[in-house]
């Protein structure tokens, strides 16, 4: 099978390399805090696991709106109101799959060809 020239220009993810090294050190018994992949240092809370299982049982296994379901946005708005005293409408909330995806969407929505973009350091190692 032929691989494209573009594929040959892709280098391994520095983030995943750091994460892999952290896992090696942990397996060796070293007490280390990983600052690579954006993974929490705790397991998924039980109420989140149960909600995910119930959603599967309820057949909620199809594609959704790209910026989050209305139910999720309502829950996020309620959380901010309850815990932080902040009020947001659902059209002010966008749900994404991670920080990099969120930044990508924001940049695509706001930056035009030829615009100057300043990227502060430190930054994700995948975005120099």
Please name the residue ranges forming H helices in the chain: 5-8, 14-27, 46-57, 70-84, 99-110
Average pLDDT over residues 14-40: 88
Task: Give the chain's mean pLDDT.
Answer: 89
pLDDT tens profile 63-116 = 988 888 999 999 999 999 999 999 999 999 999 888 888 888 888 999 999 999
User: What tokens appear for 30 in the block?
Assistant: 């070293």
Q: Can you state the percent helix, strand and coil of the chain, rounding each to 5?
A: 45, 0, 55
Q: Are 68 and 93 in contact (CB under 8 A)?
A: yes
Average pLDDT over residues 109-128: 82
Would you state the pLDDT for residue 47? Answer: 95
Would you state the pLDDT for residue 128? Answer: 57
pLDDT tens profile 39-48 = 787 899 999 9
Beta-carbon neighbour count of residue 60 at 10 Å? 12
Decide: helix, strand or coil at residue 19.
helix
Domain locations in the chain? 1-40, 43-115
């Amino acid at each position: 099978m032929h691989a494209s020239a573009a594929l040959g220009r892709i280098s391994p993810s520095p983030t995943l390399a750091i994460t892999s090294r952290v896992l090696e050190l942990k397996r060796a018994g070293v007490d280390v805090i990983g600052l690579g992949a954006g993974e929490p240092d705790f397991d998924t809370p039980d109420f989140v696991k149960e909600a995910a299982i119930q959603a599967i049982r309820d057949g909620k296994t199809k594609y959704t709106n790209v910026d989050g379901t209305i139910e999720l946005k309502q829950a996020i708005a309620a959380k901010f109101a309850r815990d932080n005293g902040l009020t947001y409408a659902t059209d002010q909330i966008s749900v994404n799959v991670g920080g990099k995806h969120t930044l990508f969407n924001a940049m695509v929505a706001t930056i035009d060809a030829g615009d100057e973009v300043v990227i502060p350091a430190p930054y994700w190692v995948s975005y120099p």
